[in-house]
Chain A
Amino acid sequence: MRRRNKPALALALTLTAAAPLAVADEFADGEAVMQAVFDQARRHANQSAEVELVIVDSGGRERARGFRYLHKILPQRTKSLIKFHRPASVKGTGLLSETPDDADRATQWIYLPALRAVKRLNADDQNNSFIGSDFSNGDIAGRQVSRDNHEITSQDAAKIHIRSTPKDAGDAYSRIDSVVLRDILVPERIVFYDRNGDKLKTLSNKRVRKIDGMYLVVEAVMTNHQSGGATRLTKTRIDLARDIDPRRVGMQGLRM
C-alpha cells in the first residue's frame, strides 16, 4: 500500500523537485499530484547545504542568519540538523529535529554552546515560526498529504492548480492553493489562507536547480501578507550524493 503520511508540501528546505520527465501526463486527482510532488522530493535520502535566511520586517529592516543544514531520511523517520554560524554570537548553536513518518510533530533539541547545554524542546507547534522567520515549522517539515483534501481546480500543459482544504476544522489554515509546475513537479507558488479565509502568506519558489537528477528549489521567498514581512531563503553548496553519517544528525552532531 502506498504510504500517505508523508509531507506533501515540503517546502523550502526539504522541497526538491520531482524526478525529471517521469511525470505522468494525467493525474487521477489532486491527491495524486501532491503525492507525486512529495515522492519526487524524497528521491535522495541525504541532503546538505549552506542556507542563508534573510528575514525582512514590514519596515524593510533585515536580519540575516546563516547555518549549515543536514537532512537525512531514515527508516520511519526524518532527521535534520541546523548549525548556526551567522551571526557570530550564535555560532555553534544547533537545532536538531526528528520527525517520525507517522507523526505530525517533530521533536527538537537545542544546543547553546555558550552554556554548553542541550535541551529537548516540545514547543514544536507546527504554526510556530521557523527560527523567527516567515516560514513555520510546518512549512519546513511539510504537511502530510492525508491532512488535506486536494482538488485540481484547473490545469493546462504547464501547470496544475491544486486547492488543499484541511480536514481538521481546527487547522491553522483554511485553505492552501498550490500551483505545481507539471514538467518538474515543483510547486511554483503556494498561497496559505488563515482560519478567517484571509490570505496569510505566499511561498514563491524563485530558483530551481537540477542536481543529481533532481530538481531542487535553491531560492524561495515567503511573504507574510498580514505582518508585511518576508523571508528569503537561499541554498548553496548543495550536496545530495554524499551519505550523511547518522551520528552527524544526532546528539553528537548537535554538540559538535
Chain B
Amino acid sequence: MSARDERRAGAVEPAGRVQRLERFFRTGRGARIVAVLIWCALAAAAAAHLPRLSFDNDTWLPAAHPLRAELESFRAAFEPDEALLVAVELPADFFAREMTRAIRQLDAAIAALPAVRHVLSPATATTIIDRGDALEIISFGDALDKGFLDADSFRQRFDRSPYAGKLLSADHRVAALRVAVERGGAEARAMAVAAVVDTVRRHVETHDGAAAHFAGEAALKDELNRATRAQLPKLLALAALALAVFLRLACGNWRRAALVFTAAGAAVAACLGLLAARGWPMNAVLLALPVMVAVIAVADALHILARWDGLGGGEADDGHGDSDDASRLTATVRQTWLPCLGASVTSAVGFGAFAVSELIPLRHFGLASAAAILYAYPLIVGAVWGGLWLAPGLRRSPRPRIAWKKLAAAAYHPSAAHAGRVALAALLIAALLGGGLITLRTETNFLTVFFAEDSRVRRAFDVVDAGLGGSGRVEVTLHGGAAAFASAAALAQVESLATRATAIDSVNQVDSYLLPVAMAHAAFTGGGDNGETALPATDAALAQELLFLSLSRGEAQRGVLSPYLDFDHSSARLSLQTANLDSAALQQTLAATAAVAADFEPAAVGATAAESVTITGLNVFIHHLGQLVLRTQAFSIALTLAIIAALLLVQFGWRAGACGLIANLLPLAATAGLVAWLGHPFDFAAILIAGVTLGLSVDDTIHFLHHYRRGGAGRGIDADGDDSRARALNRTARPIVLTSALFCCGLAVVGASDLVVLRKFAAFTAFGITAALLATLVVLPALLKLVGRGRE
C-alpha cells in the first residue's frame, strides 16, 4: 500500500495532530465548559424554530409549474372555492316532509357559517319554473315555500333535473350538500371543515338512523393534514420509547443510553427546527424523516461506542494502545470521525437526492434530510465524544451479551470458503427480484396512497361513488376568443363533445353550460320544464338567454353559469364526473377524453389548436404527479449512485469501492423489484425506499471497508486479505447488526402510522436494510476475496 493509500485509510496521521488532540482531551475545566456550551448552542439554534412548524399537504408543485398553473387557471375561472361534499344518509325518503325540512335546516345552518361561501343541496338547487306570464328562477326550497311546487311536483321535477343522482341518490335516501369553502390555506380550511362537521353532526344526531359522510377536495385535504398532524407526536413518542429500550439493550447501561438518546433528541429537534426555519410545512411524506434522522444519528453513536469499547478490550490498533483514557479517546476520535462523517454524507446523499424532484414534498424531504443529517453529525459525535471525555461513568464498557466475534466468524466462513458461490447466489437473487421492475407502475390517487380501505374518508368517497354520481372529476376546458362561447356554433360543439364524453365508460355524467341554457331556452320557448333539452339556434338568442341567466349572480358573483362559463365567455368547462379512479383507470379515461377533445374545432371559437383545450382538475393534476414520481425516482437513484460510487472509489480505491457499490446495488435491486413483484405501485413514499435504503445501507459498507483498509494498511492487504476481511468483520459486525436492527426498529415505528403510504415505506425499507445487512456481512467479504484473489 502506498503512503497515500495509507493516509486515505486513516492509518497514519501526522504525530503533531494526534498529540494536539490528546492534549485537548487532557485539558481542564474551561475547555470542557466551552465544549458543552458549543454543543448546547448548536442544539438550541436548531430547536429555537420548532414552535413555527406548520402542517400542510396542499402544495405539490411550484406555482410556475405548467401543471399547477393550468390547475390554478381553471380554478380561477370556474372553481374559486374548495368543495366539501356532505353526504347524508337519511332514515327516510328525502321527499318525506320531515326529511326535506331537516336537509333545508342543515343547509341553512351550514350556509350561515363563516368561511362558507355557499351551499348547494336538493333544497337550494336552482330551477326555472314557468308560471305562464312569469318565470321563477328559484330554489326548490323557496318554490315549496311559495306554493309553486308541492311535494309530488317537487319530486317529479327534481328527478328530471340534472341534480338527480348528484345531489340526491336515485332511491332518495342519500342527500348531498355541496359546500363551497373559501380557499384560504390549511388552517382556514381546517376551521371551516371542523365547523361544518360539527354543525352536520349536531343536526344528524337528532334523526335516528341518519349518518353523515364528508368527501370532496376540502375533506380529503383536511383529513390528510389532520392525519399528518396527529401522526407526528404519535410517531415521535413511539420512536422515543423504542429508542430508549433499544439503547438500553445496545449500550448496556442507562447512562450511555441517556447520552445517545439526548443526542438523538437534539438531532430530531434540529430536523424539525430546520423545517420550521425554512418555512417548509410538515406533510405526509416528511413524517418519516424525524424518526429516520434519529436512527441515523444513533447509528453513528453506536459505531463510536463500539470503537471505544473495542479499543478498551485489548484490540491492538495500529500502534495506538489504550494507555489511558485520553489516548484511547484520541484513537476513538481518529478512527470514527471519518467513517461516521462518510456514513452521514452518504445517508445525506441517499436522502438528499430527492432535492432534485419537481415535487415539493419530495424536494423538501431531500433538502431537509440532507441538512438535518449533516447538522446531526456534529451533534451526535460531539455528544458521544464529549460524553466519553467528560463523564467517567460512560467510559466503562458493558459486557457483551452476544458473542459478536462468533457471529462475525460464522458470517465470514461462507464468504471465505465459497466466495464465488456466495457472490453468484446473491447476483441471481437480486436479478430475480429486480426483474419485477418490468411490471413497475405508479399510483398517485391520494385516497389509495394515503388512506386505508376502512378509513372514514375512503368510506365517505365510496358513498359518493355509489349514490351521488361519483367523487372524481376530469375537467375539460375549451378556450376561445372573447365571447366565443356565446355563439350558437360553439354551443353546438360543446353539445357534441358532451355527448361523446358521456359515452366514455368511466364517465357517469357531463356537466356544462348546456344545462342552464337548455332550461332557460325551454322557459322562454314554452317548454318550461327541466326535461327539455332544446338549445337556442341563433347567436342572439343564446346571448340574450345568457344575459337572462346572469341575473342569477349573487354578491359573490357566482350564478348558475359561473361553474361552466368564465367571466367573458371565452372559456367553457365540461366537467366529467367519474368514480374515484385509480391511476390506471384514470389514465384510460384521460386518453378517451383526449380523443373526444381532439374533435373540438378551435377555429369556430377563434382559437388556435395549441391553446384550445385543457384537460385538468385536481384528479388529473394528482394523476400527472405520477410521471414526476417516476422521473424523481430515476434522477434520485442515478444521483445517489453516482455520488456514492464516487465516494467509495475515492475513499477505498476502485477494487474495494466497486465491491462496496455492488454490495449495495444488490439489495437495492432486490427491494425495488420486490415492491413491483408484490403488485405495489410506486407512490410518493415508495420512491423513497430505494434512495433511503441505499443511503442507510451504504453506511455499513463504509464502516466495513474502513476497517478492512485499516487492517490491510497495517499488514498488507495483498498478503493477508483473509485476515483483513475477518478483522473488519470482527470489528464491525456488532455495530452493523445493531444499527441495522436500529433502522428496522425505527422503520417499525414509522410502520405504526395510520397512513398507508408510511406503512409501505417502512416495510419495504426494512426489507432493504435487512438485505443490505446480509450483503455487507456475507456478500461484500466474498466479493473482496474474489477481486483480491488474483492479487493474493
Contacts and interface: CB of A to CB of B under 8 A. Distances in A.
Interface of A: 57-59, 61-63, 84, 87, 89-90, 93, 110, 112-115, 117, 119-123, 125, 127-129, 131-132, 134, 136, 172, 194-196, 200-201, 224, 226-227, 229
B557 interface: yes
Contacts of A113: 540, 544
Given A89-B486, A122-B136, A127 B554 contact: yes
Nearest to B111: A195
Contacts of B559: 129, 132
B538 A114 contact: yes
B539 interface: yes
B134 A127 contact: no
- Nearest 6 A/B pairs, CB to CB: A89-B543, A129-B553, A120-B134, A132-B550, A123-B137, A114-B540
Contacts of A172: 555
Given A89-B539, A127-B555, A129-B557, A59 B76 contact: yes
Given A89-B544, A90-B543, A117-B525, A128 B567 contact: no
A154 B548 CA distance: 42
B486 A129 contact: no
A93 B544 contact: yes
A119 B547 contact: no
Contact of B552 (A115, A117, A119, A128): A128
B590 interface: no
A61 B137 contact: no
Given A128-B554, A129-B553, A115 B134 contact: no
9 contacts: A84-B547, A89-B542, A93-B544, A114-B543, A120-B134, A123-B135, A131-B551, A132-B559, A227-B557
A114 B541 contact: yes
A134 B554 CA distance: 9
Contacts of A123: 135-138, 551-552
Interface string B14-38: 0000000000000000000000000
A81 B545 CA distance: 18
B453 interface: no
A196 B548 CA distance: 30
Given A90-B547, A93-B544, A112-B548, A226 B538 contact: no
A125 B525 CA distance: 24
A135 B483 CA distance: 22
Given A123-B552, A129-B554, A117 B547 contact: no
Contacts of A125: 554
A226 B80 CA distance: 11
B544 A227 contact: no
Report which residue of B482, B545, B555 has the largest number of chain A beta carbons within 10 angstroms of its beta carbon.
Answer: B555
A117 B524 CA distance: 6
Contacts of A110: 135, 548, 551
A122 B567 CA distance: 25
B306 interface: no
A87 B543 contact: yes
A200 B555 CA distance: 9
A131 B133 CA distance: 21
A136 B543 contact: no
B64 interface: no
A112 B545 contact: yes
A138 B341 CA distance: 72
Contact of B135 (A58, A89, A121): A121
Given A59-B76, A89-B539, A128-B551, 8 more contacts: A90-B543, A110-B551, A112-B541, A115-B525, A115-B536, A119-B133, A129-B550, A129-B557
Contact of B134 (A58, A121, A129, A134): A121
Interface of B: 76, 112, 114-115, 130, 133-138, 482-483, 486, 523-525, 536, 538-545, 547-548, 550-557, 559, 567-568, 570
Nearest to B545: A112
B567 A57 contact: yes
Contacts of A132: 547, 550-551, 553, 559
Nearest to B116: A196
Contact of B544 (A63, A90, A122, A127): A90
Nearest to A139: B555
B544 A196 contact: no
B524 A115 contact: yes
Per DSSP, chain A at the interface is loop
Contact of A129 (B525, B541, B555): B555
A134 B553 CA distance: 10
Nearest to A197: B114
A96 to B, nearest CB: 13
Contacts of B538: 114
Contact of B568 (A63, A89, A120, A129): A63
- Counting chain A CB atoms within 10 Å of each CB, the highest count among B114, B538, B547, B559 belongs to B547
Contacts of B542: 89
A121 B524 contact: no
A201 B482 CA distance: 27
Contact of A229 (B114, B136, B536, B557): B557
Contact of B567 (A63, A87, A90): A63
Contacts of B554: 125, 127-129
Contacts of B523: 119
B555 A114 contact: no
A174 B545 CA distance: 34
A61 B567 contact: yes
B114 A196 contact: yes
Contacts of B134: 119-122
A121 B547 CA distance: 13
Contacts of A61: 482, 567-568, 570
Contacts of A136: 555
Contact of A224 (B130, B525, B557): B557
Contacts of A129: 550-551, 553-555, 557, 559
In this complex, the member of A120, A132, A172 whose beta carbon has the largest number of chain B beta carbons within 10 angstroms is A132
A172 B112 CA distance: 11
A226 B76 contact: no
A128 B114 CA distance: 20
B276 to A, nearest CB: 30
B133 A226 contact: no
A94 B483 CA distance: 20
Contacts of B548: 110, 112
A251 to B, nearest CB: 11
A3 to B, nearest CB: 28
A2 B672 CA distance: 86
Contacts of A131: 547, 550-551
B556 A89 contact: no
Nearest to B136: A122
A224 B553 CA distance: 14
A108 to B, nearest CB: 8
A121 B483 contact: no
Contacts of B525: 115, 117
A220 B568 CA distance: 22
Nearest to B76: A59
Contacts of B138: 122-123
A53 to B, nearest CB: 12
A98 B708 CA distance: 97
A132 B138 CA distance: 17
Nearest to B557: A227
Contacts of B550: 129, 131-132
Contacts of A196: 114-115
B124 to A, nearest CB: 13
Nearest to B567: A57
B454 to A, nearest CB: 38
A61 B570 CA distance: 10
A67 B580 CA distance: 48
B555 A120 contact: no
Best-buried of A59, A87, A90, A123 by chain B (most CB within 10 Å)? A123
Contacts of A134: 557
A110 B137 CA distance: 12
Nearest to B108: A170
Contacts of A112: 524, 541, 544-545, 548
A127 B555 CA distance: 6
